[in-house]
Chains A and B, each alone.
Chain A
Amino acid sequence: AQSVAQPEDQVNVAEGNPLTVKCTYSVSGNPYLFWYVQYPNRGLQFLLKYITGDNLVKGSYGFEAEFNKSQTSFHLKKPSALVSDSALYFCAVTHGSSNTGKLIFGQGTTLQVKP
């Protein structure tokens, strides 16, 4: 069965410092991996995805993520955090050969960036 784990409920960083939000996954076959962000009282917003190719993918708002097949991880990163990055972040996976594309989400990680 497919699953996603986000081991940290909350990540705290100071503005200007690099940030990492962790995600590990379990799926048979090739994974399609996604990161979404959810601001209070707003819908989920797509940040970036990994399908194939370069293990480092770049997305919106300066975020990037690194796919590591051996560690089955897809950690979200940003070189310099902004206070406005504070939000709830979700990692999601689907099976690369899935004929539905249904996403399995992690529990979410709250990112708090302090001035």
Chain B
Amino acid sequence: GAGVSQTPSNKVTEKGKYVELRCDPISGHTALYWYRQSLGQGPEFLIYFQGTGAADDSGLPNDRFFAVRPEGSVSTLKIQRTERGDSAVYLCASSFGPGWEQYFGPGTRLTVT
């Protein structure tokens, strides 16, 4: 079956611009996660959705970051007023729920110039 997909695969934007990153999870997975991976580091948790609601957004670094999942499937991570420090690979994962293994998408590489 289809895995987790993410678009775009690469995004280059100028400092101060707004970006949206999209994640399409595995069908039937109610849990959806966003992580951020910087070069040479392990992924860092950003936000968790159970269904349509953000059940844990404790990993979002500041209020420039926001994510939605309006219909309990596709999710969009939104970053306002991008900064060079936001440059990283943004990973999306989905699972059947907490404690189940998470399946990751290929990621979106964001570069802020």
Contacts and interface: CB of A to CB of B under 8 A. Distances in A.
Q: Specify whether A and B are partners.
A: yes
Interface of A: 4, 32, 34, 36, 42-46, 49, 51, 90, 92, 94, 96, 98-108
Contacts of B42: 4, 90, 92, 105-108
A4 to B, nearest CB: 8
B16 interface: no
Contacts of A49: 101
B62 to A, nearest CB: 18
Given A101-B95, A104-B45, A106-B42, A43 B104 contact: yes
Interface of B: 4, 31, 33, 35, 40-45, 48, 55-56, 59, 91, 93, 95, 97-107
A103 B43 contact: yes
Given A100-B56, A102-B56, A108-B42, A44 B91 contact: yes
A76 B57 CA distance: 31
Contacts of B31: 101
